[in-house]
Structures are given as C-alpha cells and as structure tokens.
Chain A
C-alpha cells in the first residue's frame, strides 16, 4: 500500500515553495512538533560557543550579530536566551527586547533579536545605550544585538549624525570592522560577528548529512516503491542515495561544496536558509507543472510512469524545477547559475556525449548508459532524433544535452576529464588547488608562474611568456594605454635580498588568495600594495596566460589590474625613486621577441647641460 513519510512532508517546508514564511526560525518550530521530527535538523550556531564563553566571562563584551536574512541571527539569540535560563514561552511571545542577568559578571544582558523591529525612538535609545556600553562608559550593561548589516549601518549613521564627534568615531570604527571583516577593535568593548562571512560549504555538508541520514527515512519501510533488498524506484529515495557519501553522492556533494567555496571566493554569499532550501530542492525538486516539490504520492506517480526526467537532482541544483521568475528570487540559484553549468562545454565532452554511444566508448557506457534514471533513458531518445531522425525537436535535444552536462559535472569521478571545463570558470580546479597549497604550504610554483605570466601580459599588453619575473611597465600618457612598453620596474617573484618582490598569500577569510608587493626593507609588514584575487581575477589571469580570452570576460579585471599597476608604480617611485642625473636620461624600453622573451633595452639620451 502507498504510504507517506512524515519527514518528506516536513522537509518540503524548507524548500522553495511559495508560502516561504515557514522558513523563519519562529515558525518552523510548530511544524517540527506537528510532524514529530526528531532529531531536528539544525546547525550548531557557529558562533554560539564563543558567544557563550563571552557572556560567561567576568568581563563580557557586547556582541553584534550581522548577516543576510536567513543566516541564523535570531537562532543564535534564542539559543543564548535559553542557555542563560530564559523562558522559551517568553521568547515565543515575540517580545522585541529581552533581558536577563549574567551569572558570573552580574551584568545585565539585553537581547535585541532584530534591530529592524524597533521603532525609531526605541532605536535611538538603544543606540545611545549601546554606544555607552561598547565605549566602556557603562560597564554594567552588555548587549546581544542582531541586525542586517545595511540596517545596522544606516541606523547607526543616522543616529551618530545627530550626536557628537565621539559617536561618529564609534560609528566609523564599526563601519570599518564590517567592511574589513574584523571581529574586534581594541578601542571598543565589542565583538562583531558577520554570519555571512562563514564558510557555506561546511554548513551545507552538515545539513545534507542530517537530511539524508535522518532516522525517519525508516518510515519508508513497507512502501511499495522500496524493495526489501533496499533497491528502489522512488525518485526521492534515488536522489537521497545520490546525495549520500559512500555511493556516487561522494562526488555530488564534493562538487557542490567546491562550488560554494568558489562562490565565496567571488564574494557571493549563501545564507544558511538557502543552503537548506538547496538541499531539499535537490532531493524533492519536481518539474511537473506547478508541483515544484515531490510528495510521496507524486513520487510514486513519477516512478510508475518512469518520468525521471522531471525529478533530475542535478537540474534541481539550479532550480530548474521552478519557473524562471520564481527561481530568480533565490540567491542560491542565481549564484549557482552564474557558473554556467549546462551551457559551458568543450569538444571532449560534447564528442563523448554526442558520438560516444556510436563508437562503443567505454567511457560513455560508464558515464551515461549506466545511469538508468537520469542518464541514457532521459537523453538517448533526443540524441537519436538529432542524429538519425527528423530533428524536429532540436530545442528539446539541447535541453537534454545540457542536463547531461550538468549530471556529468556532478558525477565525474577523478580521471582524465576535467569537470571544470563544464563551467565558466575553467581554472576553478587550479584555483582550489592553489588556495589549498597556500593554506598548507604545498607546491604552488606552477600556478604562480602562470599567474605571473598573465600579469605580465596584462601589465605590458605584449605576449610575454616569462613567469618568473614581474614586469611593471607604463604606456606613457595617462598610463591607461593598452600597450605599455616603458619598463618601470621588474620585480622578482620570490624573496631575494632586499628588493621588493611579488608574493601570493591567503586572505584572512582563508578562502581567497591575494597578491602583494612586499618591500623586505620596510620596518612594518612591508606590504607596498595588495590585490585580492577573486575567482574571476584568477580565471582572467590563467586565460590570458594561456592565450585565450573571450571579450565578455575582461573589463572588470583589466581595470582592477591596471589600477593596481598604476598604484604600485607610484608607490615604488616614492619608495625607490632615484635622483635624476643632470646630463643623461635613461629609459627602459621593453620589447618581446618571437619566443615570448622580454628584452628591456636601456635607452640613454644625453641632455644638453
């Protein structure tokens, strides 16, 4: 007999369904009780431990939590409230401001779970108290405040504009902390946590693990679609298997995690709420009419008709089960869509997908034929129509082909095919390796050389092959000319005596590399200038270094690198500038020979005395 798994019904509430307000921490509690979900799916609030320790210490700081909607700000506040003996009933009653006394320090803790709920008046009063607390003027009160960063800054700025210089200074420090992603500042009695800066890929793995390994999957036992031996035709169970570790899901989840790390390196943030939504959508996404998410009943339907093309988890990653307008409302789908997976390809992949079945390719058998749900059956009818038939359905074929590319991206085992060729950022694999290398001190020399070559070509506008020395050259005029053949400086790319050199480091977020010009002779850290290499920058340099760059790619990166070059030349001039000698001018003209070698030619011009 057909039956319903409560867990599935419950999980749907986390998905991209229209009445999305049940996604809020306040309301999901009710659903948990209704469906008897146990254990609940949750993430240990990432900063909870730190916050707890802070408030338990004899000298607690005030804490501000910022982040995008859905990052878990309210959740943190509620846990803190309960940890310090607050009454859950009182919390559920929805009061805007709650307070309690801290056991160790005896100070009064005031919790504001959402700054935007306060009226203008309440806000102004609060900000005044808050400012006193963090400026150490009032040591008896500490606060825990949750707010969106934009709102926080706007309210604080408006308030500080009506106050004295001191208040404005505090505001400036907080603004700096937020933008520079600092947690503390020695001038203030404050910890500022931006939950949007946390690593989404780890959270995602944690959430998916809880979903796919939830004990309540056992409720499926006895369902028609599930054999005693564990084999199944239920699309929900199939998708669940794909997300589990130990089967193919290992690759699926690994790639998803990598995409999230890359998005972060491109300064794209995925709120926790979206991660949960994504996980549920992969599992339950359904492309039939307005269904959007599977229920046990519709899953049975799909299985009976073998309509698996509607429940493809790899397409669900990109929200393909949603109408376009609706899809665009979710940050997570926009971010993942930007990787172009499904659209991007190269000859190797398309040869395999289009002609593989005709050439008895083992690879094709392994990668396409063997997937009995989302592989050959969902694809080959269209392929045959395209190659042998009337080609009446080219559009359908293109869509099917695109879904195969998506599937391959998420399922390719390590081997001779590079999955990143299926994305806009083809150098992603290298990027992740590079970050890993910087983190763990691995060998990054090959990538460094490639990046330096890309930089040299960008800085000089010439096809330089050299990747061991950095050439900083000017174009004359305002310095923004495309071809720069006047060499100002050539810098080593490893530390050498006391010369300034180019160095690659990891940013404080541990996810993004940056390049720095370092002056070892300086008294301080010696950083003359630095530029964060987002994924896009990295991709740009690698593509320039290997000689292929689509025009659409280049404006931002080119501008960023050009500005960086102008700044560095100016600063090195200030630092190293030589006294001009009276009777001679010396200019380094840079040319490149046919082997890509750069030749600085020292042009000396005598000046009439």
Chain B
C-alpha cells in the first residue's frame, strides 16, 4: 500500500483533530445524501470543465491535487422555483392574464426585476406550469430543507449551483455540500480514466442544448451573468494516490454512460452506485487501519414474507460493517503507541508534557477547551475519547444513512437494520453489471459479488465467509426470491428449468 499524501496545512489546522480525515479524506459527512454528493461532484466538474481540466487535474509526483473551483449562486432562478409560494395562489385567484402578472410581480419581492418573464412566457399559467415542473422534479423534494439548499434536477450545466446558507450572499456553511462530492471527483480523477469520462459526462449528462437547461436560461434576467458572484472553494483531501476502488468506480461510470439511455435517466443509477463504491472504499480503508485483510461484504436478504436465517445473518453483517469505522478510528489512535516517538516521550523528563505534545502534533489535536492534563495514559484516553466522539457525530453515521438512501439497507422498528435491496438499486445493478445485453443468472450473482461484494447465493457466501455461514437451502431460497423479484421487474427471463438469464433493457447486444 502506498503512503498517505500530504494534506494541505490549512485543512489540518481547521479541524480539532485530524483522524477521520486522515483515514478517509476531507471529508465524508452524513448530512450530505448520495444525491447531494452527486450534485456537488457535477458542480465541481462543470467548473473545471470550463477551464478545460475536468477530471484531468495534474498530480505532481507524490503530491495532492490543488486547485480552486467556482460554483454559481443563481439566486434569481432559485427564488423563482423554491421561494415563490404565491404563484399558485395568484393563478387561482385572478382571472385575466395581465392581472395575474401584475399581482404576482407585486407580491414576489426580490431585488431583481422579473417583468421580462411576461414577455418571454406570454401566459402566466404557462409560466406557472414550468415552475411547477421544476418543483416536482427537484432533487429529494420530500426533505424539509431551507430553500437555499434545494436543488433542481440537473438537466444541464445551468441547473448547477452552490449550497448556500440563509444569507444567500454569505459564504457557504458546507452543511449539504460537505466535500464528499470533492472526494468523488478526486477518486475519478485518479482512476486513470478521467479524460474519457470527462468527455462522456459533458456530452451525455451536461449538455448545454438540453431543453430544460435552456428553459433555465429563459428564467434568468436579461444579461444575467451566471459566472458573477461565484462561490469559490479549494479542493478537499483524499489520502491515497492509487487505489483499486478508483478504477472500479470509473468502470461503473463508463458502463452506465455507455447505455442506450438518455442522460436524465442515468442520474439515479450513477448516484446509487457511486455511493456504493464509496461505502466499499470506507470499509476497505477501515479494515486496513485495523489490520484486517478480509474483504468487505454485504449479505443481502431478498425480502421474504417470512423471517429467514439470512435476515439474522444480514443484520449481523450490517452491525459489524457499521461498527467498522469506529474500530478503525480506535486503531488509528492506538497506532500512536507503536511509534518510537511514544517511546521517546515516555522516557522524557516530563512524560505527560511530552506525550501531550507528541499526540497533539501527530493528530493536529486542538480541542476548543484546551488540551487535557494528567498522566500519559489519561491524556491518551482523552484523545481517544475525543476522536471517537467526533467520529460518532458524522462520519460514523455515513454507512447507515447512505446504505438506506441508495436502497441497500432497510430499517424496521423492532427488527433493526439489515441489507435488503430495493427495486431501484436492483435495476441500477442490472444496468451496470449485465454488459452484453444478458447474463446467465448464476454468473450475474457472481459478478455482483466480484464488483460490489454483494452476497446473495451460496457460492458467493462461501467465498466471502470461507465456509457457508448458514445452511445452503437458505441461500438457495434467497436466490429464488431474487429471481422472482427480477422477473417482476422485467429483468429476468427463464429459458428452462435449469437456465435463466438476466436481461439489461438498456444495452442492445449489437
């Protein structure tokens, strides 16, 4: 394994303790849902694309990428779509078109003058329908977020903008664009496939001529400069220059972008599978810190009317995976004691002071209420407690939150949380894994394990566990239930009693 890249000093000094970031990067954050990771990524991509550098950032030998990217604020657009509560009222309560415009312009308070809209849209109802469509198709519309953290569906480059605090002209608080999108960007940049991907992304996902992207333009005032008043950020930190996960991630993107499907329909599977790769990255990194050489795995229980033994197994597996990051943090702190500096500090004239200095330097540890006093062990324990507590607040929650949001895990009151895929995730997996139009069912299961460590059948379970963790029959029924599920999704076709094929509806065989 190669060594960690040096992190920018500014990042290191900005935090109270440099542990989560050192293990996984700066940073993963539970409030940033997979969709928002994806949107943040697109915004960065678009900014760098304009500079001609998208996913082609230079990496000096052994050096981390450094660059600054800029995201638009697009405030008038966001006001029209997400802070425009009277539009429906005006439409319903005023009969003539001129009256509606007049009334709405009066109520809709803003610094900008929106009279141009009447000229462009003609009828007020049409304008209202267009706004409604943007609202209905907005990202995660069910979540109660401030209007400045609501996002349009990314029809095109004009739909990308920054997450902002309530004061829209202030600097961002990084609540929802918390840099996980930066990590995704860096991973793809280091995949070795960056250039090809960049071309596909700009051609397929971020087309200027996409109709709704152009409608966005029509909503903005005459002469409005999207590139004025930009939010600027310097790119975050991803510790390792080379990892197999980067290539796997890029492979998934390539496969999905090559499908016979419009860009809009690809966002959902891209979002889900990118986060799945990032979850695997988290688990593998955690294992490395702990010194565990085993591969991560997700044991999937395919939903069943009756409780199965796989449910228990999956729940256990979920619990272990969820705890893994906390164990990694502990191991990372414990590693301080294996260093000769620890030994030196213990031998020093005032060991407590020496240990405090050593630990605070090694982990950039600077608690708001000052470093603790006491004997070396007390200080060490205080650090461990501090780092673990900080970890619990956000990074430790990522596994559960993301797994649920991408449809990999479910929680039920009284039953707990376990891995069980939803229909959209299954579809995304079929779209990605089945590459020649079709794949024999058992090979499909094998590929799900190879690419994503998903355990559904007995063969994969045996590989993942070394021996079968529960009876073969339970796994057989699990695969039968998946077959049934795929069939009802129109993704599987049985040829005979011993031969079935999974079919990718979006990849022609030619």
Contact = CB atoms under 8 A, between A and B. Distances in A.
Interface of A: 66-69, 148-151, 153-154, 157, 176, 178-179, 196, 267, 269, 331, 475-481, 486, 555-557, 559-560, 563-564, 566-567, 569-571, 573, 580, 585, 587, 589, 603-608
B485 to A, nearest CB: 10
A477 B152 CA distance: 9
Given A570-B262, A607-B218, A148 B136 contact: no
Given A566-B261, A607-B217, A559 B489 contact: yes
Given A555-B488, A569-B262, A606-B119, 8 more contacts: A68-B497, A154-B440, A476-B153, A478-B267, A571-B260, A604-B122, A605-B130, A608-B223
B499 interface: yes
A606 B137 contact: no
Contacts of B505: 560, 563-564, 567
5 contacts: A148-B496, A179-B495, A476-B137, A486-B133, A589-B129
Given A149-B496, A153-B440, A589-B129, A573 B214 contact: no
A148 B267 CA distance: 41
B223 A148 contact: no
A476 B133 contact: yes
A242 B499 CA distance: 37
A481 B132 CA distance: 14
Nearest to A475: B137
B49 interface: no
A587 B211 contact: yes
Contact of A149 (B121, B438, B498): B498
B490 interface: yes
Contact of B489 (A153, A157, A556): A556
Given A476-B137, A477-B264, A585 B496 contact: no
Contact of A477 (B136, B495, B499, B506): B136
A150 B494 CA distance: 10
A179 B509 CA distance: 12
B107 interface: no
Given A68-B496, A149-B499, A567-B260, A606 B120 contact: yes
Nearest to B438: A179
Contacts, number: 125
A308 to B, nearest CB: 35
A608 B498 contact: no
B268 interface: yes
Given A566-B265, A567-B506, A606-B218, A178 B495 contact: yes
A478 B490 CA distance: 19
Interface string B31-65: 00000000000000000000000000000000000
B506 A580 contact: no
A196 B126 CA distance: 56
Nearest to A152: B499
B497 A69 contact: yes
Given A569-B262, A608-B223, A585 B499 contact: no
Contacts of A267: 493-494
A343 to B, nearest CB: 19
Interface centre among B116, B222, B260, B487 (most CB of A within 10 A): B260
Interface in B107-128: 116, 119-122, 126
Nearest to A556: B488
A331 B497 contact: yes
Contacts of A151: 498
Nearest to A477: B137
Given A267-B493, A569-B262, A585-B215, A481 B137 contact: yes
Given A476-B153, A556-B488, A573-B262, A607 B120 contact: yes
A576 B493 CA distance: 32
B261 A580 contact: no
Q: Which 10 pairs, one residue from A and one from B, show the smallest C-beta to C-beta distance?
A: A150-B498, A150-B499, A477-B137, A560-B490, A563-B505, A476-B137, A606-B120, A556-B488, A68-B496, A477-B153
B99 interface: no
A179 B501 contact: yes
B212 interface: yes
B153 A585 contact: no
A273 B205 CA distance: 54
B261 A570 contact: yes
A411 B179 CA distance: 71
B209 interface: yes
Contacts of A605: 120-121, 126, 130, 215, 218
Contacts of A557: 490
Interface centre among A151, A475, A559 (most CB of B within 10 A): A559
Contacts of B218: 585, 605-608
Contacts of A67: 496
Given A559-B490, A603-B126, A605-B215, A478 B264 contact: yes
Interface centre among A269, A476, A481 (most CB of B within 10 A): A476
A570 B126 contact: no
A283 B494 CA distance: 31
A608 B76 CA distance: 15
A560 B489 CA distance: 7
Given A478-B264, A563-B505, A570-B261, A556 B487 contact: yes
Contacts of B223: 608
Contacts of A607: 120, 214, 217-218
Nearest to B219: A605
B492 to A, nearest CB: 10
Nearest to B495: A149
Contacts of B116: 608
Contacts of B423: 555
A196 B489 contact: no
A571 B494 CA distance: 28
Given A476-B153, A476-B212, A606-B218, A176 B265 contact: no
Contacts of A560: 490, 505
A608 B261 contact: no
Contacts of B501: 179
A553 to B, nearest CB: 11
Contacts of A479: 262, 264-265
Contacts of B495: 149-150, 178-179, 196
A150 B496 contact: yes
A68 B494 CA distance: 12
Nearest to B209: A580
Contacts of B487: 556
Nearest to A71: B496
A96 B232 CA distance: 75
A309 to B, nearest CB: 33
Contact of A196 (B265, B427, B493, B496): B496
A23 B412 CA distance: 49
Contacts of A68: 496-497
Interface centre among B116, B427, B499 (most CB of A within 10 A): B499
Interface in B181-218: 209, 211-212, 214-215, 217-218
Contacts of B136: 476-477, 481
Contacts of A331: 497
A566 B438 CA distance: 19
B268 to A, nearest CB: 5
A107 B264 CA distance: 59
